[in-house]
A and B are shown apart, each in its own frame.
Chain A
């Protein structure tokens, strides 16, 4: 109240309040002061490391080779001509594409099931989204415990179910090791798809379905004519977000297969980790990261462009 009284007195006097030189300066530049911390933070934590990593990719920054001499594009050459790097990129595309596709289909099915109200729906939904809150490392460890021979119960259960002995090396035999990695990823991330798609489904007006029903449209036709077009943007959003995350697949591989056997489960992230933090060739890993960033950026551009274009019917 004291402030109000002062201001009222000043207003009555017809004189503006007198501000100190600093206060006047602060008043003029207040907007810049507000954004300055965020800008400084971004510069310090994002732009500087990015520029520094660019520099590192053109010099020798290797914990085994002394000195930081300029080496031109040699680090990039090493990555480009490394068959393991090329394989890791292919595997990343295949694994992430396949995982996300399965997650999308399953997520959509679950969302379509859960969009209608039924007793226990809340409890089931809560249970369904639990995997989202678990660290991927723990997910990897849990699936390792389930699948790893001789202690994991999976082969035993399959043997009982199938009536013949199952001796699958889930984490050492191709193609089962890929199946294992996809299962772990799908288990964790299908709820993500489900949550986003469910949000999209609930936003579709029920009037449309009622009108369709009056026109004797069957469920399958309604799905294609109403659900898919209206859910399109959400589908694209879910796929974009999930794909961007999936191509960074690392944690479950680190725990479940260790990149092996050989280099069969090296994804791009795992390759970069190995080069940078097992072999200590930091500049090569940095060059690889930039190349990987370019590939990722291309995918992102494509998806975001589609996302921006996509509009509900």
Chain B
């Protein structure tokens, strides 16, 4: 170091010493504090993770009053899991799963109410029975698809059990995201428990001859109507006088619009004839169009896979839907599913068709849970009748439980799925007041315990079963989201005044573009597979195939 350097160094050093004496930060203290801060940052990660785990940890097992029907169903599920029958799927799953004690299963669920079942009931019960923990990953509905694919591409093994829409099965199976269950089923499952599925739902997870999951949510549309209005002698007389027909649940879509208009004319603004969830982005448009279009004889695709929307059936469907809109509550086109429920439960609407929770809410059963208290109390409890939607009701999406192909614990994950979907456990899950899982097994429809949940529960279950007998499935093929989105855009454009024929043409063009993008031959193969399923068209419903379930 020469003199010049030494002077510089000393000047710098003196500066630092002076700064230190003044209590200011020196380089040394800066480095020390920076090191401390980095250390704290490094430590904060695990601490935050621990706090998050604690915050999102499984709740304690929540059981209903043992004397209530739900409490009895929960006790029966526990008993079947612990004591058998020895050949029951629940018992066998639990016995086999004990060897996986300590494993944590990561399972995706739709965020919100759907996730409360594994958090409060099935997850904690499974842990109590097997020592396996569960980590519920709450996702929005589209993310239940996209995240599963993204994690598969990344090869992260982040998920073990996936809750998926049946429409996604072909894409996820062909993409290697989900694994077939056939070997596990042969090893662990009682075949009688597979036979217990309603025929409409049994084949839903089947694709290319393999089983890719367990169906787990009977989202069947049904008609809910005000018996007090439909059975009012004055209304019946007036209807008879006007149409020379008996006032009752409609059998055709024309009759549906006619009855809705009649009630609106007679009772508005106190009560309106009907209501629908028609808001853009709300799935009501796609489901309603698909069920009416196919009931009107419409074909989704032709032999050449060209869209069949722009047809007489399409025009008839939109015309009927417009007539129904006109007869409905003001703001009908702005309603989503929840606001439609609010309109029905507060007595403003005489009939709606929607998912099965409608019946449980109308009877004020669901609202017994605080988690669902954003739904208004029913002012129509005891006044609601049930009927099959005119023509063929839509099975509006539903859920399959699927096994992630990247799961580090595939057998443990499978065993949870088998247990959760087994007859006694799935019954208890479907009966949870806050759950949005709806009956799908024959044993559910026949259940005395479910039938005792509210006064008209047996009638409600019978109607869901009858609806499934003639129900139609959403198209199960790649691109389903694109096809559905085109329908939603088309419908909402028509509600806003666009020409139905032109709108059908636009939607058909969009469908063709989607088909071209995904490959015509490939899409044709998928669609051909779909057509094999009972309920794929109005000509091959469960009932028409001679497989109808009679309770």
Residues of A bordering B, CB below 8 Å: 3-4, 7, 11, 16-17, 26, 30, 63-66, 148-151, 167, 169-174, 257-264, 274, 277-280
Contact = CB atoms under 8 A, between A and B. Distances in A.
Nearest to A82: B513
B420 to A, nearest CB: 27
Contacts of A264: 493, 496
A279 B282 CA distance: 15
A84 B118 CA distance: 41
A280 B517 CA distance: 13
Contact of A260 (B10, B482, B488): B488
Interface string B320-358: 000000000111011000010011000010000000000
B6 interface: yes
A81 to B, nearest CB: 10
A49 to B, nearest CB: 14
15 contacts: A4-B20, A148-B331, A148-B339, A150-B343, A172-B333, A172-B495, A173-B496, A260-B493, A261-B280, A261-B492, A262-B280, A264-B493, A277-B142, A277-B143, A277-B146
Interface in B465-500: 478-479, 481-482, 485, 488-490, 492-493, 495-496, 498
B171, B330, B339, B496, most chain A CB atoms within 10 A: B496
Contacts, number: 109
A150 B481 CA distance: 30
A218 B280 CA distance: 53
B331 A3 contact: no
Contacts of A64: 171, 478-479, 482, 518
A262 B486 CA distance: 9
Given A63-B149, A280-B146, 8 more contacts: A63-B145, A64-B518, A65-B517, A167-B330, A169-B331, A172-B279, A172-B495, A260-B280
A46 to B, nearest CB: 20
Given A11-B10, A169-B333, A174-B496, A263 B489 contact: yes
A285 to B, nearest CB: 12
Contact of A16 (B1, B27, B517, B518): B1
Interface in B1-26: 1, 6, 9-10, 13, 17, 20-21
Nearest to A78: B517
Contacts of B485: 274, 278-279
Contacts of B282: 258
B174 interface: yes
Contacts of A278: 142, 481, 485
A159 to B, nearest CB: 12
A11 B28 CA distance: 18
B79 to A, nearest CB: 43
Contacts of B329: 150
Nearest to A276: B146
A26 B279 CA distance: 63
A189 B241 CA distance: 58
Contacts of B143: 277
Nearest to A37: B38
Given A7-B17, A260-B280, A279-B485, A16 B492 contact: no
A274 B485 CA distance: 9
B281 interface: yes
Contacts of B31: 26
B297 interface: no
Interface string B283-305: 00000000000000000000000
Contact of B496 (A172, A258, A259, A280): A172
A274 B280 CA distance: 13
Contact of A257 (B175, B280, B478, B488): B280
Contacts of B334: 148-149, 169-172
A239 B334 CA distance: 33
A86 to B, nearest CB: 15
Contacts of B28: 3
B27, B145, B174, B334, most chain A CB atoms within 10 A: B334
Contacts of A173: 496
Interface of B: 1, 6, 9-10, 13, 17, 20-21, 27-28, 31, 142-143, 145-146, 149-150, 171, 174-175, 279-282, 329-331, 333-334, 339, 342-343, 348, 478-479, 481-482, 485, 488-490, 492-493, 495-496, 498, 503, 517-518
A261 B325 CA distance: 15
B279 A260 contact: yes
Contact of B6 (A3, A16, A174): A16
A264 B10 CA distance: 72
B496 A63 contact: no
A151 B482 contact: no
A151 B9 CA distance: 77
Given A4-B21, A148-B334, A171-B334, A260 B489 contact: yes
Contacts of B9: 16
A166 B518 CA distance: 47
Given A150-B343, A169-B333, A65 B518 contact: yes
A68 to B, nearest CB: 9
A26 B145 CA distance: 49
A129 B411 CA distance: 56
Contacts of A263: 489, 493
A11 B12 CA distance: 12
Nearest to A254: B281
Nearest to B510: A84
Nearest to A83: B506
A261 B493 contact: yes
**Top-4 shortest CB links A-B:** A260-B280, A149-B331, A258-B281, A262-B493
A277 B144 CA distance: 11
Nearest to A263: B489
B31, B281, B503, B518, most chain A CB atoms within 10 A: B281
Contacts of A4: 17, 20-21
A262 B146 contact: no
B10, B492, B495, most chain A CB atoms within 10 A: B492
A173 B10 CA distance: 78
A7 B13 contact: yes
B361 to A, nearest CB: 17
Contacts of B10: 11, 16
A150 B9 CA distance: 79
Nearest to A8: B17
Contacts of B517: 65
B13 A11 contact: yes
Nearest to A177: B496
Nearest to A149: B331
Given A172-B496, A261-B493, A149 B482 contact: no
B533 to A, nearest CB: 20
Contacts of A16: 1, 6, 9-10, 13
Contacts of A170: 334
Contacts of A174: 496
A144 B343 CA distance: 16
A263 B492 CA distance: 9
A11 B15 CA distance: 13
A11 B485 CA distance: 79
A280 B339 contact: no
A66 B280 contact: no
